[in-house]
Amino acid sequence: MKKSAAESSKPASLPDDVHRAAIREDLDTTMLVEAAAGTGKTSCLVDRMVALVATGRATVDRLSAVTFTIKAAAQLRQRFQNGLEEALRTEREPGRRAHLAAALARLDSCFLGTIHAFPRARGGGDPRGGAGRRLERVSGGGPPRPPSARNPRRRGRPRARSDPEGPEAEQGPR
């Protein structure tokens, strides 16, 4: 028996469909999603973000999605915009349509970027500690040492002779 175009375009049931539905629909629960590459984590994240906006539980300026590469962040932004547009096209309930339209109008206020850009995007300034402050050292507390004291190579200080990677190692024994 031959399948119709609508049937063949519908994805087959997956073993984790229950979990995917929970990610998309259980909006009152905080979740950690772990899965291998190419398994649909980004799609699930986009579906959840669209659902949060459509239900009015969040506005785009209150959403943040952090990834590791600029390319992944650009793809996430595009997929989120596409998801909002598709939801707006298919949504019939006026309240949800209003939430989706407002989200599209303010899409730039949503942070979708790399982990390195996140502190600056949220007003933190310096990614090491916010507003130009340095983080205190974990060991010993107190103020941090200046950069030259943390890494003697930054100022071009010669290394000890016992350092096998130092300039003396290239010259051989004396």
**Distance from the Cα of residue 168 to its chain's centroid:** 45
Domains held by the chain: number: 1
Instruction: Give domain status of residue 155, yes or no.
Output: no
Instruction: Give domain status of residue 152, yes or no.
Output: no
Two structure tokens written together for 29: 């629960």
**Residue 135 clears pLDDT 80, i.e. is over it:** no
Q: Is-contact 134 145, C-beta < 8 A? A: no
Residue 94 structural domain: 15-131
Instruction: Give domain status of residue 159, yes or no.
Output: no
Global pTM value: 0.62
Q: What is the pLDDT of residues 139-153, one digit of tens each?
A: 344 455 555 555 554
In the chain the beta strands, taken as DSSP E runs, fall at: 64-67, 111-114
Q: Is-contact 148 155, C-beta < 8 A? A: yes
Two structure tokens written together for 2: 């031959």
Q: What is the pLDDT of residues 83-117, one digit of tens each?
A: 999 999 999 999 999 999 999 999 999 999 988 88
Instruction: Give domain status of residue 4, yes or no.
Output: no
Instruction: Give domain status of residue 66, yes or no.
Output: yes
The better pLDDT of the pair 12, 56 is held by: 56
State the pLDDT at residue 1. 47
Two structure tokens written together for 53: 């906006």
List the CATH number of the domain containing 20. Answer: 3.40.50.300
Average pLDDT of the chain to the nearest whole number: 75
State the pLDDT at residue 80. 96
State the pLDDT at residue 13. 85
Neighbour-count burial of 49, counting CB atoms closer than 10 A to its CB (0-12 exposed, 13-18 middle, 19+ buried): buried
Q: What is the pLDDT of residues 58-88, one digit of tens each?
A: 999 999 898 888 999 999 999 999 999 999 9
Q: What is the pLDDT of residues 108-127, one digit of tens each?
A: 999 999 888 876 655 654 44
Instruction: Give domain status of residue 81, yes or no.
Output: yes
Instruction: Flag the least confident range among 24-28, 61-65, 97-101, 159-163.
Output: 159-163
Instruction: Give domain status of residue 31, yes or no.
Output: yes
